[in-house]
Structure 1
Amino acid sequence: MRFQGQLRPSQAEAIAVVEQQLAAGQKRLHVVAPPGSGKTVLGLFLWAHHIRRPALVLSPNSAIQSQWAARTDLFHSTLTSKQLVSTETGGSALLTSLTYQSVTLPRRGDADLEADALDFWIDVLIYKEQAQDPAEAEIWINDLKVHNPDYYEKRMRVYRKAVRDDAILKGNALEMLHDSSQQTLETFKQQGVGLIILDECHHLMGHWGRVLADAHDYLDQPVIIGLTATPPDEKGKRPEDIDRYNDFFGPIDYEVPIPAVVKDGYLAPYQDLAYFVRPSPEELSYVANTDDQLQLIMETLCTARVSETVSEPENSPDAETEDPPSVERAEPLQDWLLQLLTELELPSGQVVEDWTTFERRDPSLADASRLFLQHRGIPLPPHVPPLSVDLMEEDIPRLNYWAPVLDRYIRHRLRRSPSQADQELAQQAVDQLRLLGLQITETGCQACASPVGRVIAYSRNKIKALVPILSQEIENLRDNIRAVVIADFEKTSATSAEVEHLLDEEAGGAIAAFKQLVNNPPTDWLNPVLLTGSSVLVDDDIADQLQSRAEEWLRARDIDVTLSREPFDGFDLLNGSGSQWSPRVYVEMITDLFQAGVTRCLVGTRGLLGEGWDANKINVLIDLTTVTTSMTVNQLRGRSFRLDPDQPEKVANNWDVVCIAPEFTKGLDDYERFNKKHCRLFGVTDDGLIEKGVGHVHAAFTELKPEGLEESVQLLNSDMLTRSTQRAESRQLWKIGEPYQGIPLKTIEINSTSRDGAGWGFMPFQGLRSPWSAESLTKAVSRAVLESLQEAGQLSQESSLQIGARSGNYIRVFLDRASEADCELFLDAVNQVFGPVQGTRYVIPRHVNQIEDTWISRLLPDLLGRFFRKTEQELAMVHAVPAALARNKRLVAIFQSRWNQHVSPGEALFAYRGAGAELVEEAQRAGFVPHSKIHEKEIFL
C-alpha cells in the first residue's frame, strides 16, 4: 500500500516521532491531535508504511467507524476493497474498522450472572439493615418482581453491572463478555492482528478500557496506537481505572497543538467571543435574598448569645424549689477564632507550640481566620503575623475565606455545644451554605450543587442573548451563515424545590433556545431546526420545503421511512415512522440539509452534536453549555474548525454567553465556568499572538473583579459584536502560512496604572524630555533586567526581548530565542521588579522628572518656551531588586548599573536595615510601591 497524498507538517512530525519509538521497540503509542487535524490519515499511514500487519481499528460510534473505512481510498493498493477494508465483525480484510461496543459487549441474562446479581442485591439489603437475613431479602425482591417489574429490572441492571465490573477489575474481563464479542476477539486472534488503533481513546477510562487491557494480552500484545483530541477527564474515575489507562498508553508521545494546524492552513482560523448578561429581575431577587440570608446568619453567629434556660420536667422534685438550670451558649464566631489564635489551639482542641505548627496543621484556617478578623478590624494576638498588605487589598470573594471559618466553627463548636439553640443555629447556617454550593458534613466542607449557581447558569437572559448575537452574525454573513447553538440538554432535569418557581422544564435547554429563535423575526430568518435524541422541530417557514428535501434524501439512500408533521405555534414536529428511523438517520439527514442551506441554524445538545459529528460549513458556534472539562470543550469547539472548500477564507466565531451578578456571593459562578472552559484553549489575541487561556478572548478577562465587571458589560458586549464583524482582520492575525516556532512560550502581562508610574512623568536623563508610558517604562525595566542577567552569565546572549501592547493598558513581555529555563528566570525577575517589595533583600528607587512652566516659558512660543521650563526630579517608586541579582554585592552592582542606564538614577540599598529599611517603610507609607497587576500566560509563536 502507498499513500497517494501529501502529509501535513504536523502529521510528518508525529510520524517521525513514532518511527523513533517503534525503532526503539516501543509497542504502545499515544498521540493527541485536535479534531480535523488528520488523525485518521496519520493512523492509516503508520499502518500502511510502518507496521504493515493486519489491523483492527476501534471507535466510539459508527460515524467515526465509517470514516476510517472511507479514508482508505487515499491509499493505492492492488487489493480489492473487500480484501482491504471491512466494517463487519466476521471479515477477513487487512483492516477492520469496528466500534468499541462490538468487542466489549457484556453478557446479559445468563443464569450465573443473574444469580450473582441477586446475591449482590441481597447482601446490600442486609448491609443497609433493610432486611434481617437472606430469606427476608429474597421475599421482598420477589414481591417487587411481581408487582413492580420495571423497577425490579432497573435495579437488576445496576447489580448486574456491579457484578461485571467487580469481575473485570479482578482480571476476568473476557469471561464477562457476550458470546458475540468473545467470538470477534477469537477471529482476530486467528487472523494474527498486529496493530490495534484505538480512536478517541479518552473513552477507555471505564468498561471498554478494562476489557481491552485484557484483550491486548489475549491477542498476543499487538502494537497499540491511541489517538485522541484531548486527554481524558479523570474527575470521578476510579483510581484503578486511571492507573490502568496511564499504564496502558503511557505518556503522550506527540501532541499536535491546534495553532500549528491552523497556521499550516489545515484548520479554519477562529476567534473566541463572549456576550455578558444579567439575571432577570426574578432571578436577581432570589440571588439577592440568598445573599441577605447568609449575611444575616453571619451576623447572628458573630453576636453574643445569652445562656439558655432548660426547663425541668414537671414531676421533678427540684422543679419548684430551685431555679431552672441554664446551658452556656457558644461564644460568638470572632471570639472563638481569637481564642484559637491566642492559645494556638486547633479546632479539634489540641494546643500546638508555635504559630508555624498551627499554620502547617491547618493552613486554610490560619489564613482565613486572620483575613476574617482583620476585615472586621479585630487586632490579632502579638505572636500571630498579620497578612500582607497586598493580600488584604486583594479582592478575595468573601465565601472563599468564610467557608473554612464557618466549617470549623459549626463542626467543632456549635454542633458540640450542649445548647439546643446553638445546634439549630448550626443547621440554619448549613442549610444556607448549601444554597451557595457548600456542604458541611461530619468530616469537612465540600462543594455541592448550588441552586443559586443553577439559576445563574440557566438564566432566561442567556437564551435571550441569542437574538443580538445572531442578528449581528446575520448582518456579517447573510446567506453564508451556518450557525449552531449547543445546550446541555433538551429540557432541564429535575430542579430543587428552592428554584422550581424560577426554572421551568425548558430553562436553559435546547427547546427554549429554539423557541427564542423562531419567535423573534431577526433570528426566525435563519429557519432554525432543533435536533435532540428524541425530537426534530422545524421552523414552520420551511416545514414543507424541508420535508420534501428530506424525503428525497431518504429515497436516494433507500431508507424506508415515512415522514409526517405535527404543527405547533411557530414550528412543526417532524415525525418518522419505520424501523430505520433513528437519531443516526435523522441527524445525518438534517446535517446534510443544513450544509445545503435549507436551514441556516441548528440547535442541539452536546451529546448529539459532539464527538464524531461533522459539518464543515459551521461559521458561528454559540455554546450555552455548562461543561468545563477540556475533553468536552475541545470536542464542542472542534465542530467549527473544519475547512470549507466553498469558503476558503472561512473564519469561525465561537461565542460563550455568560451570566453575571458580581455584587453577590455566587454571582461570578458562570464567569468562573467560562474561565475554566478556556484554560486549555488557544486563541488569537489583539496583538497577533496565540495565547492559551481566557485572556485571548480579551486582555481584561484575567483581571475582571466584581467592582469593575458590572460597569464594563455594555462596553465589552459592544466590543465583542464589533469584533465579530472583523473576520478578515482576525484571519490576518493568525499569520497563516508564515513560519512559526511551534512550541509554547511563557509570558507575563503587566497592567501598570499611572499610580505605578507616579503620573508617569518624564524620563530622568540629561537632555531627554520624553514622557514615560506604560509601554516604554515596562520596556526599559525589562531591558535592564535582561542585560543584567546576561552580564551576570545567568542568561544566554541569544535571548531577544519582545514587548507588545494589548488593549486595556496591558503590556506583554517575553523572551524569544530562549530556553524554557531562561524564560522562567527572566520573567520571574521582571515579575519581582513590578511586584511587592516586602521580604526582598535589596531595593532600588526610581525617579522621574516633572516639568512645569515658568512665567517666561508661558510667554514664549512652545518651540522656545520648552528651554525655560522648570525641571525637578522626584521619587516615583521603590522597586525590588530581583532575587537572582540580589545574592551578593557584585550582582547588585550589575543591576544598579543597568537600572541607571535604562530606567533611573539611584542606588540599590540593603532592605533589612539602615537606609534601605527606612526607604521601604517610607515608600509603603506614602504609597510609592508597585501595585501592578501581573498575569502569567502561555503563548504559541
Structure 2
Amino acid sequence: MKKVNAQEDEENMDYHDFSLIDAMKKAGIKTLCLDECHHLRTEWWKALEDLKKQLDSLFTISLTATPPYDSSIAMWMRYLDMCGEIDIEITVPELVKEGSLCPHQDYVYFNYPTSKEEKQMKAFQEDVQNVISYIMQHQKFQQAILSHPYATSTLDLDKALENPAYLSSILIYLESQHLSYPKEYLKILGVKKLEKMSEKWMTILLQGFFFDDKEAYRISESDYHELYQYVKSHGMIDQKKVVMQVDIAFEKMLISSLGKCESIQDIVHHEYQCMQKDLKLLILTDYIKGEYEKAIGDETMSVHALGVLPFFEMLRRHSVQQTQSLHLAVLCGSMVIIPASLKTQLEHLVPQDTNLTFQSFPLINDYVKVSMKGNHHEIIEAVSTLFEQEDIQVLIGTKSLLGEGWDCPCVNTLILASFVGSFMLSNQMRGRAIRTYHQNPNKVSHIWHLVCVPPDKGIINRNQEIQQTESDFENLKRRMEHFLGLHYEQDFIENGIERLTAIQYPLNRIHIKQTNQRMLQLSSKRNQLKERWDRSLAIYDKIEVVDELETEDKNMTAVLLYDALRQMILTFLSLIFAFVFVLIISAIFHIQSRYMIYVMFCYGFVAIMSLLWKLKKVLTWRNPLSRLQAFGDGIYQAMLRMHLFELLNCRVQTESQAVFYSIYLSGGTAHDKALFAKCVSDFFDEIDNQRYILYHKHKRNKMDRYFVVPDIFSKRKEDAMIFAQCMQPYIGRYQLIYTRNEAGRKILLQGRKDALANRQNRVMTRKKVKGALE
C-alpha cells in the first residue's frame, strides 16, 4: 500500500519550478553522452545546444554507426559543433576483420516497367499538354509573372544568374505571350533568340512560382490555390516538386515500378532453393498498404503493388504454387502476421500479463493476425525472437522498424525494396543484415538492390549519368558510392558500382536478363564469400579508406609543363643576349680582361643556377602524375589555410597504373578525405554555372584556360581569393572571375565551349548537356 501511495505522490508532484540545469550542476554531472548522434541533424538539437551553453566544462562523447557524410558543409559543421571533432573511426572492413560484422556482398536485380505503367506515361504526356495550355491562357497567372522583378529590372543580376534556367523560363513565357521584358538579359545570357515554351521550361517556371520563389509574385491566395490545385489534380506535383517532363516523371515511376514485385519473388525463390530452412530473409519497404489485407487468400484479387501486405500475399501464393514449405511473417507497427502453428510459441515469448489476440483470415487458416494491448516494443521483440528461433524464413516489414532500435542478427539476406537513396538510412537498413550472429559464427549475408530501367533507352555504361536525380539507377550508384565491399572478381575491397562487374552494359533487355542470371549464379556461391573476404583482408595490417579520383593521362592538362618549358627557353635566350651584350660593351669601352673574367664568372654562376631552377620545374612537371600531384598540393594548401581539415596528419598521394592516374588524401578523417576528393573533383569539373572560375586568357591552348573554384571556396569572395592565391604557385597566374555579371557570364559561356573538362570527362564525374539558357 505504501508503494502505491509513493507512486501516486511521484505522479502528482509539481515540476513547474524544477530546473534540469540546476539539478545537473548540483549533481556534478560533467559528461554528456550522445548515442546515435546522427539524429542531431534535425531541429530538436537546438535544445541540446542550449543545454551545453548553460553547463560549463561539459565533456561530450558522441557515438554513431552512420555519420551524416552526405550532409551539406553547413550541416556538417553544425554537427561537429555539437558532437566535437571525430576522434576514432572504425571502417566496415576493420569490423569484418575483427569479427564484429560478417562477410557480405551486394547484388542487383533489374527489371523493366510493366506495360500498364508504360501506358500511364503516354496518358501523362497528353495531360501535360492540356495543363500547359491552361496555364498559358490563365490571365491571373500572366499578371503574376508580370509582377516578378525579373520582368521589369536587371538590378539583381547576382540572384538572377544564380539560377539562369529559372530566369530563362520567365523570359520564355513573356516572349511566348508577346509581353515586354528587359532585352539586356539576352546579352547577359549570351543568346540572340529564346527557345519556345515547352514542358521543360514550364516545369522550371512553375517550380519557382509554386515553391522556390513564391514570395516574388503578387497574386491572391485564392488564385494561387486554384492554379496549384489544378496542376496537382493532374498528378504533376509531388512532394513540393513540379513534374511535367515525361522523362523525369518516367524516371520517378521506375523507382516504384510494380515490376519489382516479380524481382522480389525471383530472389526469394532462389535464396530459398539455396538455403532452405537456414534462410533468414528480411524485406524492408516503405509502406504497409493496409488496403490489401482483404486480398489475403483471395486469388481473384491482384497484389501487384509495392508494400508489406502485397509482398506477403504474393510470396504466400507463390510458395503454395511451388509446393514449398516457405514460412512468412509480417512485423510492422500496426500489423503483425505469423504462421498459425506458432501461436503458442509467441505467447510464451511475451509477458504473462500481456493480452494477445489472434485473428484468422477468412480465406486461409495457416496464418493469423496478431493484436496486443500494452507495450509495443514487447511484441516487436517477441516476433523477432520467433523469427530467429522458429521455422520462419522470410520476415517483411517497413523501414520504420529502424526507428524502434530493432535488432535481429540472425538475418542473412536482405532485400531493399525501399526508395531511399541517402547514405544514412540505407546504411542503417543494410546494417540489419551484416551483423554477426553468435549462433552461427560462419554467417554470410547477401544484400539485394532492386533497380528498374527505362525500356529502349538503357544505360550505356556504368559511368553514364542520368540527368534526373530521381533515376533508379542513379539511386543505386549513390548507394554504392558509400559502401565498401568486396569486388566481384578480384580479392580487394572498394566502393562504387565499378566493383559490381556482373552488370552488363548497355542495360537493354538481353543484357538485363544475362545480368540477373549472373547475379543469381554469384549469390549461389555463398560458401566462397567468407574465404574471399579473409584473403582480401589478410594483406592489410592497417586499414585506411581513401576517396580516390581517377583520370587518364590524355585528360591531364600540361599547362604547368608548357609554362616551365617556355620560361626555361626565355631564360636561356635572355642569358645569351646578356652575354653578347656584355662582350659588345667590353669591346667598345676597352674594359680590362681581368674585370671581364670576374664579370663572366659571376654571370656564368647566375646563368647556370637560373637554368637549373627552370630545368628542375620541367623535370618536376614532365609527366601527368607529377602535374596531378601539383594540382593536389595546391588544393591541399588552400584547404589547410581555410582550416577545413579535422586532422592535420594528412598528405596528398598520387598513383599511376598504365594510362590512369589517381589522387587521394592519406591520413585524416573520412570527412577530410571526402571533402578533399570533392574539391579535386570540383576543380576539374566542367564549366557549368559556378560562381567563381579561374581564367587565363593568354594560354595558347584554349582548353587550358579554365579551372573551377570548388564549391566550398565559392560562398564568399574572400575565400575564392584565398583559393586563387594558393593555386598560383602550382598552376600559374590565373585570374579569378566572378560570373554573376555580364563580363564574367561571357567568359563562363565561352568556357562551356572551350574548357577541356567540357570536352573530356577528366575525372569520373557527372556528364550532362546544357544550353546557354541554363
Give the TM-score, by structure 1 length.
0.49
Distance 1:879-1:752 versus aligned 2 partners, 3 A rule:
same
Q: Equivalents in 2 of 1:434, 1:570: separation in Å?
A: 41
Q: 2:259 aligns with which of 448, 457, 461?
A: 461
Does residue 450 of structure 2 align to residue 657 of structure 1?
A: yes
Aligned to 2:333: 533
- 2:522 matched to 1:723? yes
Aligned to 1:230, the other structure's residue is in SS state coil
Looking at structure 2, the residues matched to 825 and 218 of structure 1 have their Cα atoms a distance apart, in angstroms, of: 38
Which of 566, 574, 579 is matched with 2:360 structurally? 566
Alpha-carbon distance between aligned partners in 2 of 1:566 and 1:456, rounded to the nearest angstrom: 36
Does structure 2 retain, via aligned residues, the 8 Å contact 1:492–1:507?
no
Residues 737 and 196 (structure 1 numbering): CA distance in 2 closer, same or farther, change over 3 Å? farther
Cα distance 1:470–1:610, how it changes in 2: closer, same or farther (>3 A)?
Answer: farther
In the alignment, what sits opposite 1:364? 165
Aligned counterparts of 2:678 and 2:45: Cα–Cα separation in 1: 44
Displacement of 1:518 in angstroms is 1.0
Q: Secondary structure at the match of 2:450?
A: strand
Distance 1:437 1:532, change over 3 A: closer
Q: Relative to structure 1, is the Cα distance of residues 400 and 672 closer, same or farther in structure 2, using a 3 angstrom cutoff?
A: farther
State the shift of 1:511 in Å.
1.1
Contact 1:263 1:738 in 2 (8 A): no
Q: Secondary structure at the match of 2:151?
A: coil
Indicate conservation of the 8 Å contact 1:265/1:737, yes or no.
Answer: no
Listed as ranges, the gaps of 5+ residues in structure 2 are 175-182, 293-300, 458-465, 555-620, 637-650, 689-693, 708-723, 733-749, 767-774
CA distance in 2, matches of 1:186, 1:826: 45
**196, 200, 204: which one pairs with 1:404?**
204
- Within 1, Cα distance between the matches of 2:758 and 2:71? 42
Q: What's the CA shift for 1:515?
A: 1.0
1:714 corresponds to 2:548 = no
1:784 matches 2:585? no
Judged with a 3 Å threshold, the aligned counterparts in structure 2 of structure 1 residues 246 and 506 are, in CA distance, closer, same or farther, namely farther
Aligned residue for 1:602? 395
Pairwise mapping of residues 216-227 of structure 1 onto structure 2 (< 5 A)?
223-227=59-63
Which residue of structure 2 aligns with residue 935 of structure 1?
Answer: 764
Matched, 1:642 2:440: no
CA distance in 2, matches of 1:203, 1:621: 24
Opposite residue 602 of structure 1, the aligned amino acid is L
CA shift at 1:570, angstroms?
Answer: 4.7
From the superposition, tell whether residues 840 and 815 of structure 1 become closer, same or farther in structure 2 (CA, over 3 Å): same
- The equivalent position to 1:732 in structure 2, one of 511, 525, 532, is 532
Asked whether the 8 Å contact 1:627–1:677 carries over to 2, the reply is no
Alpha-carbon distance in 2 for matches of 1:550, 1:822 = 47
Q: 1:587: how far off?
A: 2.6
The answer for the alignment partner of 1:198 in structure 2 is: 34
Does the aligned pair in 2 maintain the 1:684–1:696 contact within 8 Å? Answer: yes
Q: Does 1:746 align with 2:547?
A: yes
- If each structure's strand is expressed as a fraction of its own residues, which one has the higher value? 1
Quote how far apart the aligned CAs of 1:519 are: 0.9
Provide the C-alpha distance between the structure 1 equivalents of 2:106 and 2:426, rounded to a whole number of angstroms.
Answer: 13
1:261 maps onto 2:95 in alignment = yes
Task: For residue 479 of structure 1, report the CA deviation from its aligned partner.
Answer: 3.3
Q: For the structure 1 residues 402 and 799, does the alpha-carbon distance in structure 2 shift closer, same or farther, using more than 3 Å as the test?
A: same
> Residues of 2 paired with 1:726 and 1:431: CA distance?
50
Mapped to 2, the partners of 1:424 and 1:533 lie a distance apart of: 37
Tell me the CA shift for residue 744 of structure 1.
3.7
Residue 109 of structure 2 aligns with which residue? 275
The 3-state SS of whatever aligns with 1:486 is strand
Code of the aligned partner of 1:683: G
Structure with the largest fraction of helix:
2
Tell me whether 819-828 or 668-677 shows the greater mean CA deviation: 819-828
**Structure 1 residue 616: Cα displacement:** 1.8
Q: 1:851-881 CA distances to partner (integer Å, 9 max, x unpaired)?
A: xxxxxxxxxxxxxxxxxxxxxxxxxxx9759
* Residue 187 (structure 2) aligns with: 383
Q: For residue 487 of structure 1, report the CA deviation from its aligned partner.
A: 1.9
Question: Letter of the aligned partner of 2:418 in structure 1?
Answer: T
Q: CA deviation at 1:600?
A: 1.4
SS in 2 for 1:615: coil
Deviations 1:739-761 (A, max 9, x none): 265444232356999xxxxxxxx
Structure 1 residues 485 and 422: CA distance shift in structure 2, 3 A: closer
Residues 202 and 231, structure 1, Cα contact 8 Å, conserved in 2: yes
- Please name the residue that 1:5 is paired with: none
Distance 1:208 1:824 in 2: 30
Shift, 1:619, TM fit: 1.3
The structure 1 residue matched to 2:662, chosen from 810, 813, 818, is 813
Q: What does residue range 574-653 of structure 1 map to in structure 2 within 5 Å? A: 574=368, 582-608=375-401, 611-653=404-446
Residues 281 and 395, structure 2, Cα contact 8 Å, conserved in 1: yes
Shift of 1:639: 0.8
Partner of 1:50 in structure 2?
none
Residues 11-43 of structure 1 show CA distances to partners (whole Å, capped at 9, x for unaligned) of xxxxxxxxxxxxxxxxxxxxxxxxxxxxxxxxx
**For the Cα contact (< 8 Å) 1:436–1:453, is it kept in 2?**
no
**Could you say if the C-alpha distance between residues 691 and 575 of structure 1 is closer, same or farther in structure 2, counting changes exceeding 3 Å?**
same
SS in structure 2 of the partner of residue 434 of structure 1: coil
1:368-517 pair list within 5 angstroms = 383=187, 403-405=203-205, 432=234, 434-435=236-237, 456-491=254-289, 507-517=305-315
Q: What is the CA–CA distance in structure 2 between the aligned matches of 1:422 and 1:568, rounded to whole Å?
A: 49
**Where do residues 787-798 of structure 1 align in structure 2 (5 Å cutoff)?**
787-788=626-627
Q: How far apart, CA to CA, are the structure 1 residues paired with 2:631 and 2:31?
A: 54
C-alpha distance 812-409 of structure 1, shift in aligned 2 (>3 A): same
Which amino acid counterpart does residue 394 of structure 2 have in structure 1? C
| Residues paired across the two proteins, number | 603
How far has the Cα of 1:628 moved from its partner?
4.0
User: Are residue 289 (structure 1) and residue 123 (structure 2) matched?
Assistant: yes
Q: Percent identity?
A: 21
**Equivalent residues of 1:748, 1:827 under 8 A apart:** no
- Contact (CA 8 Å) 1:473, 1:481: kept in 2 or not? yes
Counterparts of 1:216 and 1:596, CA distance in 2: 45
| Structure 1 residue 692, shift from structure 2 partner | 4.8
Distance 1:403 1:788 in 2: 43
Q: Structure 1 490/749 Cα, relative in aligned 2: closer, same or farther at 3 Å?
A: same
The residue that corresponds to 1:348 in the other structure is 150
Q: How does 1:101-140 map to 2 (within 5 A)?
A: none
State the secondary structure of the residue aligned to 1:643: coil
SS at match of 1:511: helix
Secondary structure of the corresponding residue to residue 348 of structure 1: helix
Q: 1-side partners of 2:90 and 2:397: how far apart?
A: 29
TM-fit CA distance, 1:486: 1.3
**Equivalent residue letter for 1:606:** K
Equivalents in 1 of 2:55, 2:158: separation in Å?
A: 56
Corresponding residue SS for 1:383: helix
Structure 1 residues 249, 422: CA separation in 2 closer, same or farther (over 3 Å shift)? closer
Relative distance call for 1:568 and 1:458 in structure 2 (3 A) is farther
Q: Unaligned regions of 5+ residues in structure 1, if any?
A: 1-87, 89-101, 113-173, 309-326, 374-378, 393-397, 495-502, 754-781, 846-877, 893-919
Q: State TM-score, norm by structure 2.
A: 0.58
How far has the Cα of 1:650 moved from its partner?
Answer: 3.0
**1:786-935 → structure 2 map (5 Å cutoff):** 786-788=625-627, 801-802=654-655, 813-814=662-663, 931-932=760-761, 934-935=763-764
Q: CA deviation at 1:785?
A: 0.7
Secondary structure of the equivalent of 1:623?
A: strand
